[in-house]
Amino acid sequence: MRIVTWNINSVRLRIELVAKMAKKLKPDIICLQETKCPNDSFPTKSINKMGYEHVAINGIKGYHGVATLSKIPFTKTNIIDYCGQKDGRHIETILDYGGAPLSLHNFYVPAGGDEPDRKINEKFGHKLDFLNEMKRRLTKSKQKTSVQRILVGDLNIAPYEHDVWSHKQLLKVVSHTPQEVELLEQVRKSHNWVDVARAFVPFEEKLYSWWSYRSKDWDASNRGRRLDHIWVTPALEPQLKSYKIMREARGWERPSDHVPVVLDLV
DNA sequence: ATGGTTGTGGAACAA
């Protein structure tokens, strides 16, 4: 089974890029973030034509928004509002995998603004609150150990030294500050989640899934960050087959600033 | 330290 996560930065503007990726990678499930599309305007028909009959969406007008597209039917869909805000940052779908339920969480964590200090930047406070709520909720569901779980999405944090182009220069830049990194690690450890990227690629190796629009030549300067993640619970570790970041998609016409991240399970 | 770009929606805000 192949799962792709991708911050598409407007699903309507880039529906052709979704089709292009789907044609090349043929994933069974696609998790999108930043769809920037209200539910009643979601391009469900186009998605169906690509072979994804099952569509779960949590969108709002203008900003944020997540969607999970699947060839495999969902047995259940859950939407949780974090920080008491209906801002389209989470959707959980449950499906059958290997004769047992598989819970798939699709997240879009707040970016957190520019200043890494909640006293002067409430967006950063929101990001920290969101992560704390993730930790609380994911820990709460820990009892049901029989359920296989995958968590994907744009978590807007690059946790490790080689998840950014310059650890030293980004220590005070939101997405790589010690406070966020520590909190994300707490979230990950709360459920013994396995960071799939680092299960396949050594920690010393640079790994990015996002390159800013603001650089002259993203490819040459290569100042990226690994903001997009795939985590699995230990129950799924034996099923891990391969992991890949589709870097080429950053060079497509009118690209998203994020690229697809791919997991293959046996 | 600053400025650099893109999206939505038609100004200002989010990233």
pLDDT tens column, A202-250 = 999 999 999 999 999 999 999 999 999 999 999 999 999 999 999 999 9
Which element (helix H / strand E) includes A194? strand A194-195
CA–C1' span, A199 to B4, in Å? Answer: 35
Smallest Cα–C1' distance to nucleotide B4: which residue has it? A214
Please name the nucleotide lying closest to A110, CA to C1'.
B15
pLDDT tens column, A159-200 = 999 999 999 999 999 999 999 999 999 999 998 999 999 999
**Would you say residue A143 has pLDDT above 60?**
no
β-sheet bridge partners, residue A245: A261
**Would you say residue A89 has pLDDT above 60?**
yes
pTM score of the predicted model: 0.97
CA–C1' span, A110 to B15, in Å? Answer: 9
Per-residue flag: A111 CB under 7 A of strand B: yes
**In A 18-77, which Cβ lie closer than 7 Å to strand B?**
36, 61-64
- pLDDT, residue A235, reads 93
CA–C1' span, A236 to B3, in Å? Answer: 45
Bases in strand B with any atom closer than 7 Å to a protein CB = 3-9, 14-15
**Would you say residue A77 has pLDDT above 90?**
yes
Q: Write down the mean pLDDT value for chain A.
A: 96
Two structure tokens written together for A219: 């490819």
Beta strands in A37-175 (DSSP E): 54-58, 66-70, 76-78, 90-97, 100-108, 148-154
Please name the nucleotide lying closest to A172, CA to C1'.
B1
Q: What's the CA dihedral at A190, A180, A249, A240 to 10 degrees?
A: -20
- pLDDT, residue A141, reads 64
Looking at CATH, the fold of the domain delimited by A2-265 is given as Deoxyribonuclease I; Chain A (3.60.10)
Percentages helix, strand, coil for chain A, rounded to the nearest 5? 30, 25, 40
Give the rounded percent of residues in chain A with a pLDDT score beyond 90.
95
Distance CA(A52)–CA(A72), nearest Å, equals: 8
Find the range with the poorest average confidence among A12-16, A17-21, A140-144, A216-220: A140-144
Per-residue flag: A123 CB under 7 A of strand B: yes
**Would you say residue A142 has pLDDT above 70?**
no
Per-residue flag: A12 CB under 7 A of strand B: yes
CA–C1' span, A124 to B14, in Å? Answer: 13
CA distances from A129 to A82, A112, A126, A175, A200 (A): 9, 11, 5, 15, 30
> Are the CB atoms for A226 and A211 separated by under 8 Å?
no
Please name the nucleotide lying closest to A11, CA to C1'.
B7
Domain residue ranges of chain A, discontinuous segments joined by +: 2-265
Find the helix packing angle between A178-190 and A122-140, rounded to 10°.
10
Which element (helix H / strand E) includes A63? none
- pLDDT, residue A136, reads 95
**Would you say residue A7 has pLDDT above 70?**
yes
Residues 6 or more apart in contact with residue A123 via CB below 8 angstroms:
A110, A111, A112, A113
Per-residue flag: A13 CB under 7 A of strand B: yes
| Sign of the Cα pseudo-torsion (A170, A176, A179, A181, in order) | negative
CA–C1' span, A194 to B14, in Å? Answer: 31
Which of A21, A31, A32, A27 shows the shortest CA–CA distance to A2?
A: A27
- pLDDT, residue A139, reads 78
Beta strands in A21-89 (DSSP E): 29-33, 54-58, 66-70, 76-78
CA-based max dimension of chain A: 50
